Amino acid sequence: MSTAPQTVVGPRILLVVGGGIAAYKSCELVRLIRKGTGEVGGDVTCVLTRGGQQFVTPMSLAALSENQVYTNLWDLKNEAEMGHIQLSREADLVVVCPATADFMAKMAAGIADDLATTLLLATDKPVMVVPAMNVRMWEHETTQRNVGFLRSAGVTVLDPDEGPMACGEFGYGRLPEPHAIWREIAAHFGIEVPEEARPPRREAANDAHGELEALEPEDESASTSGGLGGLISRIIPRSTPKRSAEEIEAEYAELEPGEEGDPDELPEEDAPEFNPDFGGPLLAKKGGASAAPPIDPDAINHEVNARQSPPEELGSSHEDESDGEAEPERDEPTDPDDENKTAGDEGEKEAGEEVEAKDASEPESEPAPGSEPAARQAKPAPKKSASSIAAPELEEDMGDALGGEEFEISAEWGNLEGRHVLVTAGPTWEAIDPVRYIANRSSGKQGFAVAAAAAALGARVTLVSGPVALKTPPGVDRIDVESAAEMNQAVREALPADVAIMVAAVADWRPRQYQPNKMKKRSSAPPALMLTENPDILANLAASDKRPELVVGFAAETEEVIHNAKLKRKRKAADWIVANDVSGDVMGGNQNRVHIVSEDRVDSLDEMPKAAVAMALAQRIAQVLSKEAAE
């Protein structure tokens, strides 16, 4: 009577995958457990925590384990049968890999707030924990206390490896390699696992003269190499038969002298004769060369780019401007002083200095008796540098807040003559380091338009502007600042004023500490940016002993625009708040729709160009000041 062969059943492992970058190694661990030692393969059921799902997916573990992956304690289908109890009882060993410091702390405290921690409390089977965390977290007293408590409770806690970590630090806390973890699991069940095979190292042999010889490969029949390289070596035969070192030396000794290619026996070649043709077209005498005319239209910058000025005409005038006649050519100087002067003149010409002709509109004057001609007395004018260009020339390429239009003034609006109006505009830049800063999307167009409108009505306007690329409106005194602190100081120094219109989008916060050097990117988490509050320019101005007669603030809102504007007016103690909705393309655009909120009314304007908004605001300010002056 024959009996059926007994089936060998491998260990059943319940693998809890915790959160951490080392979670990716759990996939290889599942493969090793399933593979086993060849004769015995284990069965793996995976429980994936919420943190572990950030690094590996349930689909990956399900495909490798060929079992369902469990992630949720509140699965009604399974919890109807108390699924977490069955999971904890069906396994032969529960392995937590990787185990974070948070997970081990929950295990030590008996917290059961998800599927993984609940089944660990409910299990009656052995538990093995494989920690993986930062070296400082591993060495922390709290973590070591939790590890000691778990070990005293019968939990097997493996020691982490030492090495580099994902955070850029080095030390203990690195998850052991999957093969080492599988060896510990197998040892728990008394299964012997062979050491991981390492590829043999091939070293070159040195002969007596210190030269390196290539090692001949072993016989192909005895080679254990596999893969594509081994397959190709079996299909394609060697083109050169194997030779031993003795055969190579014997073949080299049989060569006739000179056959090895002595470099001393190479035929000598005649050096080429150097005989250049100085009269040819490719060479020119000193001072006779000139640049080729531009033939490529794309290379002529000023014809392609409208912002590029055409090159200046270089003119050198050696004529006697006193009488209009050209100076005759001078012979070679014989006096040493004349030779020095001539050499100096040539050096100036070679240095590329320009010699500008005298303006034809300038009246001519006769030289004094005994004096040298005017052409000899004149010195080359200095070349205009970028630093000497006037400010209006620099502003030619800047934007215009008015779009090139001018205001049409009506006598019925009143005027601001004799009034000092203080306006702020643009964003502020709060420096983090020499490269980075905190800013906002403000273009400064609305503030510049307000300053231009006030100046058009006759006011003396002081404009304190953040970093923007806009032209200064006519009749406006401009003060450029960068940070909120600089703007606050400039506003205080500009007082007293009759009206203050705070249009600038001042940053609410700035870095608490400025870094003098550029902050470098690290492989770990980004650096913490500690912020502190900037001075409230509007509130400080409204509470100042030099408070202007009328204080107007702006409010950029994205929701409940009028309601938030009313609250801001009371909080800042301002007379008016001009509120607008910036959820669209208002910041940086040319259109705006505002609500002027005062103590007893709200005036809502239709959407219009920012220049029209500015003139409407300036008109209302002029009417209020005229009315108060009449009273």
Q: How far is CA 316 from CA 338, 340, 343, 347, 382, in A?
A: 21, 21, 17, 15, 13
Contact (CB, 8 A) for 129 and 157: yes
The amino acid sitting at 385 is: S
| Residue whose entry in the numeric block shows the structure tokens 């590890």 | 147
The per-residue DSSP string of 540-578 comes to HHHTSTT--SEEEEEEEESSSHHHHHHHHHHHHT-SEEE
Contact (CB, 8 A) for 572 and 597: no
Q: How far is CA 341 from CA 253, 337, 344, 377, in A?
A: 77, 6, 5, 13
Cα 510 to Cα 457: distance, rounded to the nearest angstrom: 37
Q: In a 3-state reduction of DSSP, which class is residue 281?
A: coil
Give the active site residue among 27, 46, 97, 167.
167
Taking Cα atoms as reference points, which of 393, 407, 401, 397 lies closest to residue 425?
A: 401
Contact (CB, 8 A) for 79 and 116: no
Per this entry, what is the length of the chain? 631
Please enumerate in sequence order all residues whose Cβ is within 8 A of that of 529, keeping only pairs 6 or more positions apart, or say none: 432, 511
Cα 185 to Cα 177: distance, rounded to the nearest angstrom: 13
Cα 232 to Cα 502: distance, rounded to the nearest angstrom: 79
Tokens of 309: 């000025």
What is the helix (H) or strand (E) element at residue 465, kind and residue range?
strand 460-465
User: What 3 state SS string does 357-381 have?
Assistant: CCCCCCCCCCCCCCCCCHHHHCCCC
Phi-psi region of 599 (alpha: psi -120 to 50; beta: other; left: phi over 0): alpha
The amino acid sitting at 115 is: L
Q: How far is CA 312 from CA 308, 354, 383, 386, 486, in A?
A: 12, 10, 11, 14, 40
Cα 586 to Cα 503: distance, rounded to the nearest angstrom: 14
* Residue 167 bears catalytic tag: yes
| Pairing assessment for the beta strands 499-502 and 576-581 based on DSSP bridges | unpaired
Taking Cα atoms as reference points, which of 121, 125, 143, 141 lies closest to residue 133?
A: 143
Q: How far is CA 209 from CA 15, 212, 213, 389, 508, in A?
A: 59, 9, 11, 73, 76
Active centre residues (catalytic): 167
